[in-house]
Amino acid sequence: MYYLFRFASRVLPWIPRRLAYACGSMLGLLIWLLAKKARMQATKNILHVLGTHVQETRVGRKKLRRVVQGMFISNVYNYLELFTLQSRSPEELLRTMELRDEEHLQAALAQGKGAIIFVPHMGPFDYTIQYMGIKGYDVTVPVEHLKDQRLLELTLELRKSHGIHYLPVAGSTSMRTIIQNLRENKVVLIAADRAIEGKSVEVNFFGAPARLPIGPVRLAQRTGAPLVGAICYRTPQLVAVGQWVPLSLEMTGEQRADIDCMMQSFIGKMEDIIRGHPEQWIAFAPIWLEDSENAS
C-alpha cells in the first residue's frame, strides 16, 4: 500500500483535475461493485441514516443504492485530493472552496480558550483543514497510528503542505499537547463519528445504540474551549463547501457543565451534518453495536 500511495502522489498531480475526478468516479463504482464486504457494511451504516423504510419501495431502493455508490466515489475523491495537496497552491485551493459562517469559529476563538472543531469523516475534509491553515489558523489534528509507519509518515507529509500540524495519538503526552494548544487559543480538530482511540460511550446515534468518542465533549468541559462543528461536502461542480456550526456558544453555562446534555447536543449536531449529505459519508466499518457484535 505504501508504494501505491507514493506512486499516486507523484503521478496524479500531473493529470488534469477534471480527468482525475472522472476516472475517480469510475474507480469508485468499480470498487462498489467488487468490494462486497465493504458494500454490505456501508449499506448497513447508511440504513441507520436513511431509515430501513427506504427499502420498501423501488424508488427508495434506488436511492439507497445511489447513496452507497456515492460513498465509494467520495472515498476515492478524498484520496485524489490527498495525493494532489502538495501540488496545489493556496490560491488554487481557495478557488475551489467555499466556506460559510466563519463567524462561529471566530466567536469561539474570541473566548480566548481555543476551539475544538468536531467533524465526521465526510466530504473533502482535507480541504476544510487546509483552508484553516491557509487563512492563518493554527490547527492541530490528532490522528490514529497506522500499522505501516511509512504510510503514516507519507500521509502526514502530504497533509502538512499548508501548515497544518498532525499529532499521532499516544497516551498522555499527546493529550498534554492538545490542552496546551487550546490554552494558547489554537484550534484542535477531531474526527468524531467513530470510536478509534481513547474513551468512548454508548449513545443513541440515529435512534440505535452505538459507541462514539466522548473525548471532544470532555475536552471542552475540562478546558472551557467551545465546541464547533464543521460540515464539509462537494457540489456537483466539485466545489468544496464548508460550514461552521456552533454548539457550546448556543448553550447556557449550566448546560455546558452537564455531560449528558453536552453529549446529546453533540450527537444531534453530528446527525444533522451526516443527514445533509449521506452519500459523502465515509463509513465502511461497523459503528452501531449490533453490527460490531455480528462482525466479531
Domain end call among 85, 105, 128: 85
Burial of 11 (0-12, 13-18, 19+ CB in 10 A): exposed
My answer on whether 65 and 195 are in the same domain is no
Query: 194 in a domain, yes or no?
Result: yes
My answer on whether 78 and 224 are in the same domain is no
Q: How many domains does the chain have?
A: 2
pLDDT score recorded for residue 1? 82
Query: 264 in a domain, yes or no?
Result: yes
pLDDT score recorded for residue 292? 63
pLDDT score recorded for residue 3? 87
Cβ–Cβ under 8 Å, residues 248 and 91: no
Could you tell me the pLDDT band of residue 155, with boundaries at 50, 70 and 90? confident
What number is the average pLDDT over the span 120-133? 89
pLDDT score recorded for residue 293? 59
By percentage, how much of the chain surpasses pLDDT 90?
A: 61
What number is the average pLDDT over the span 30-34? 97
My answer on whether 81 and 123 are in the same domain is no
Domain of residue 35: give its range. Answer: 2-85
Query: 292 in a domain, yes or no?
Result: no
What number is the average pLDDT over the span 196-200? 65
**Nine-digit cell at 286?**
461497523
Residue for grid cell 453529549: 263
Could you tell me the pLDDT band of residue 294, with boundaries at 50, 70 and 90? low
What number is the average pLDDT over the span 163-173? 78
**Strands, E, within 108-239: which ranges?**
115-119, 139-143, 165-168, 187-191, 200-205, 208-213, 227-234
Q: Which among 150, 159, 152, 96 has a CA at the least distance from the CA of 126?
A: 159
What pTM was estimated for this model as a whole? 0.91
pLDDT score recorded for residue 171? 66
Per-residue DSSP letter, 135: T
Q: Which among 275, 289, 270 has a CA at the least distance from the CA of 227?
A: 270
Query: 290 in a domain, yes or no?
Result: no
pLDDT exceeds cutoff 80 at 296:
no
Query: 288 in a domain, yes or no?
Result: no
By percentage, how much of the chain surpasses pLDDT 70?
A: 96
My answer on whether 109 and 199 are in the same domain is yes
My answer on whether 228 and 101 are in the same domain is yes
Please tell me the distance from the alpha carbon of residue 285 to that of residue 66, in angstroms, as a whole number: 19
pLDDT score recorded for residue 103? 94
Q: What is the dihedral of CA 57, 63, 67, 73, to 10 degrees?
A: 130
Residue for grid cell 466479531: 296
**Nine-digit cell at 50?**
436513511
Average pLDDT, the chain: 90
- Say which amino acid occupies 176: R
Residue-wise pLDDT tens digits, 200-229: 788 999 999 998 888 899 999 999 999 999
Please tell me the distance from the alpha carbon of residue 144 to that of residue 156, in angstroms, as a whole number: 11
Please tell me the distance from the alpha carbon of residue 272 to that of residue 192, in angstroms, as a whole number: 14
My answer on whether 48 and 173 are in the same domain is no
Sequence-distant (≥ 6) Cβ neighbours of residue 25 within 8 angstroms: 73, 76
Residue-wise pLDDT tens digits, 225-262: 999 999 999 998 888 999 999 999 888 889 999 999 99
- Better pLDDT: 52 or 147: 52
Cβ–Cβ under 8 Å, residues 164 and 133: yes
Beta bridge partners of 166: 141
- Better pLDDT: 103 or 156: 103
My answer on whether 211 and 139 are in the same domain is yes
Query: 286 in a domain, yes or no?
Result: no
pLDDT score recorded for residue 41? 96
My answer on whether 77 and 102 are in the same domain is no
My answer on whether 108 and 22 are in the same domain is no
